[in-house]
Amino acid sequence: MSDVRVTEGSVQVEGCSSPLFFRQSEPVSAASRLSVLLLHGVRFSSENWLNIGTLEVLAKTGCRCVAVDLPGLGRSKAAEPPAPIGQLAPAHFLKLLCESLDLAPAVIISPSLSGMYSLPFLMQHPSMVRAYVPVAPICTEKFTAEQYQSVEVPALIVYGDQDSQLGEVSLNNLKNLTNHRVVVLKGAGHPCYLDDPDTWHKALVDFISAL
């Protein structure tokens, strides 16, 4: 019998045309220590976090994790995105999502495309973010160094050293976050967590355990 429970569900977010699909993992025997919200990139979905074991790994450390399929993607295809891809989504989208799922304050894990959602949320609702784990997210150039410096939320900046585009661009902006550390996955590309799940999970568990 597993010590981790993984379930599926859907959540209706106010202003979203259709419900959003999500996967949830949590420890079976103990109360959750932390909440984690896992977002994803444009070619991916919550299924990736299930397949590489992130949902299970984090639940085993005592976290309640929710991996959501973002609007227009994965099993949330019917939901209309609140902004076109590449533009900043309204910060209240993730605020309403976290409130609906009773996640706040949450550790936000945000690769690639999901930066359009997580960055406005981080800037406008930092009290709802326990920690921030950006993985080469888009839209980092849409904020100033001063805006990043005003954020005191602990951050773990992760990217693959073979991600010559978004890895370096996002790092140059995100390194202005006041309270951050950087983990570079050697030999890994843009979705570096898929290329090296073991190093990814170790970095994540070490970071979350120290919160």
pLDDT level of residue 29 (50, 70, 90 thresholds): confident
Known catalytic residue at 76: no
Q: Of these residues, 40, 180, 190, 201, which one is catalytic?
A: 190
Q: Of these residues, 76, 163, 170, 201, which one is catalytic?
A: 163
How many helices (H) and strands (E) would you count in the chain? Answer: 8, 8
Q: DSSP string spanning 148-167?
A: HHT--S-EEEEEETT-TTHH
Q: What is the pLDDT of residues 64-107, one digit of tens each?
A: 999 999 999 999 999 999 999 899 999 999 999 999 999 989 99
Decide which of 11 and 16 is more confident: 11
Known catalytic residue at 112: yes
Q: Which residues fall within 8 angstroms of residue 74, CB to CB, at 6 or more apart?
A: 21, 40, 44, 45, 46, 47
Q: What is the pLDDT of residue 66?
A: 97
Q: Judge whether residue 32 has pLDDT over 80.
A: no
Q: What is the pLDDT of residues 117-164, one digit of tens each?
A: 999 999 999 999 999 999 999 999 999 999 999 999 999 999 999 998
Known catalytic residue at 10: no
Say how far apart CA 206 and CA 87 lie, in whole Å.
32
pTM for this entry: 0.96
Q: Of these residues, 112, 114, 118, 170, which one is catalytic?
A: 112
- Domain 4-209 classified CATH 3.90.199.10? no
